[in-house]
């Protein structure tokens, strides 16, 4: 049985005329007549007797009426509960985020949000991988990526900027070949190594940008890092080297098929504000460069 047809039944039973039911439902009277006819056909019984003054319910309709009224109230209760749940700034909220984004940019600025919305159960899922947002494993994702997957939608808040970093002790003590730290996935020497230290020796390979920053701070060599990581890592300075614009950006994402609730929208607005307030850090405008540094074996 189609609930939409039952709405037409209730409207006609209450108004007594096709035109009156149409006004209540904001449809044409022909639509009301057609839906009532379809309902009578599906039930196999006549529901209304037409008279000069309007439509009167048959005994079958009288028997059906209270049951449909009860159904209507249940539907309204569901609608109210859904609306309240959507508008309530309460309940669980799962944010999946990469470690360094969380630790350096987000977590230090989340206290205000948690104090403002104490009934929101904030949960951080710290992972480099995108969890299954469609399966409700998370409500929001913040990622550093050049292009998010097609099944996620959202906004690129800003582009990342990178720099070349090293520890002051490493720069002062370096007397032989330049050393660099690379990712395990970098099978070929990246452009920045070829341009800045063409004959460099790879001292260490890592699979995590946070580990790369720590290794550089402990003297393992030069490392290319996002500015918000390099400039906040104790023991590092940024070389006065111009880096090309990055294809990578910071994105706030949700699944294309998931409707965001009020608490998700509130969190998204807060996260955007947090990132915007740290734009200078993310874009590399807050740094003390290592003055006049040129690698020993820099190419022309």
* Tens digits of residue pLDDT in 164-205: 999 998 888 755 678 999 999 898 889 999 888 878 889 999
Co-location of 63 and 178 in the same domain = no
CA gap 265, 245 in Å, rounded: 30
Which DSSP letter does residue 177 get? S
> End of a domain among 39, 61, 87?
87
Co-location of 80 and 116 in the same domain = no
CA gap 206, 185 in Å, rounded: 9
Residue 125: phi and psi, rounded to 5, are -105, 100
C-alpha dihedral (230, 236, 237, 243), degrees to nearest 10: -30
Percent of the chain exceeding pLDDT 70 equals 85
Co-location of 190 and 52 in the same domain = no
Co-location of 215 and 137 in the same domain = yes
Co-location of 259 and 123 in the same domain = yes
The separation between the first and the last C-alpha atoms of the chain, rounded to the nearest angstrom, is: 79
Co-location of 149 and 55 in the same domain = no
Co-location of 44 and 173 in the same domain = no
Q: Which span out of 26-40, 239-253, 268-282 was modeled with the highest average pLDDT?
A: 268-282
CB 273 within 8 A of CB 105: no
- CB neighbours of 1 closer than 8 A, spacing ≥ 6? 42, 43
Co-location of 22 and 162 in the same domain = no
* Tens digits of residue pLDDT in 80-109: 566 555 667 888 888 989 899 999 999 999
pTM over 0.75: no
pLDDT exceeds 80 at position 22: yes
CB 230 within 8 A of CB 213: yes
* Tens digits of residue pLDDT in 115-148: 999 999 999 988 766 554 544 467 888 988 888 8
Number of structural domains in the chain: 2
Co-location of 80 and 160 in the same domain = no
- Residue 104: name the closest of 290, 275, 285 by CA: 275
**CA distance readout (Å), 281 to 90, 164, 188, 252:** 32, 15, 29, 18
Q: For residue 56, what is the enclosing H or E element?
A: strand 54-57
pLDDT number for residue 85: 58
> End of a domain among 36, 70, 87?
87
The chain-wide mean pLDDT, for the chain, equals 84
pLDDT number for residue 110: 94
Which pairing describes strands 289-290 and 48-51: parallel, antiparallel, or unpaired?
Answer: unpaired
The whole domain housing 225 covers: 89-300
Co-location of 280 and 144 in the same domain = yes
> End of a domain among 43, 72, 87?
87
CA gap 91, 42 in Å, rounded: 42
Co-location of 103 and 151 in the same domain = yes
The CATH code of the domain that includes 62 is: 1.10.10.10
Instruction: Give the other-Cβ count within 10 Å of 110's Cβ.
Output: 17
The CATH code of the domain that includes 247 is: 3.40.190.290
pLDDT number for residue 154: 86
Co-location of 147 and 18 in the same domain = no
Average pLDDT over residues 269-276: 95
- Residue 241: name the closest of 289, 287, 200 by CA: 289
């Amino acid at each position: 049985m189609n609930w939409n047809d039952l709405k037409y039944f209730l409207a006609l039973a209450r108004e007594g005329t096709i035109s009156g039911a149409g006004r209540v439902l904001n449809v044409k009277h022909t639509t009301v007549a057609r839906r009532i006819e379809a309902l009578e056909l599906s039930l196999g019984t006549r529901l209304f007797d037409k008279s000069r003054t309007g439509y009167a319910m048959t005994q079958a309709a009288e028997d059906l009426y209270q049951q449909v009224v009860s159904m209507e109230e249940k539907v309204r209760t569901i609608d109210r509960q859904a609306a309240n749940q959507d508008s309530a700034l309460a309940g669980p909220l799962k944010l999946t985020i990469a470690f360094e984004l969380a630790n350096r940019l987000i977590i230090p600025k989340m206290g205000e949000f948690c104090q403002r919305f104490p009934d929101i159960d904030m949960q951080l899922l710290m992972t480099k991988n995108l969890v299954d947002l469609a399966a409700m494993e998370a409500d929001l994702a913040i990622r550093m990526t050049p292009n998010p997957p097609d099944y996620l939608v959202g906004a690129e808040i800003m582009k990342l900027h990178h720099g070349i970093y090293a520890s002051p002790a490493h720069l002062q003590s370096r007397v032989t070949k330049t050393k660099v730290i690379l990712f395990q996935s970098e099978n070929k020497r990246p452009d920045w190594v070829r341009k800045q230290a063409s004959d460099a020796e790879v001292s260490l390979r890592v699979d995590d940008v946070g580990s790369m920053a720590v290794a550089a701070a402990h003297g393992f060599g030069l490392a290319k890092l996002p500015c918000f990581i390099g400039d906040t890592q104790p023991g590092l300075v940024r070389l006065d080297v111009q880096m090309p614009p990055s294809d990578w950006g910071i994105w706030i994402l949700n699944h294309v098929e998931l409707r965001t609730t009020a608490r998700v929208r509130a969190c998204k607005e807060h996260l955007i504000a947090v990132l915007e307030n740290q734009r200078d850090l993310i874009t590399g405008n807050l740094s003390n460069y290592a003055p006049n540094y040129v690698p020993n074996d820099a190419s022309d």
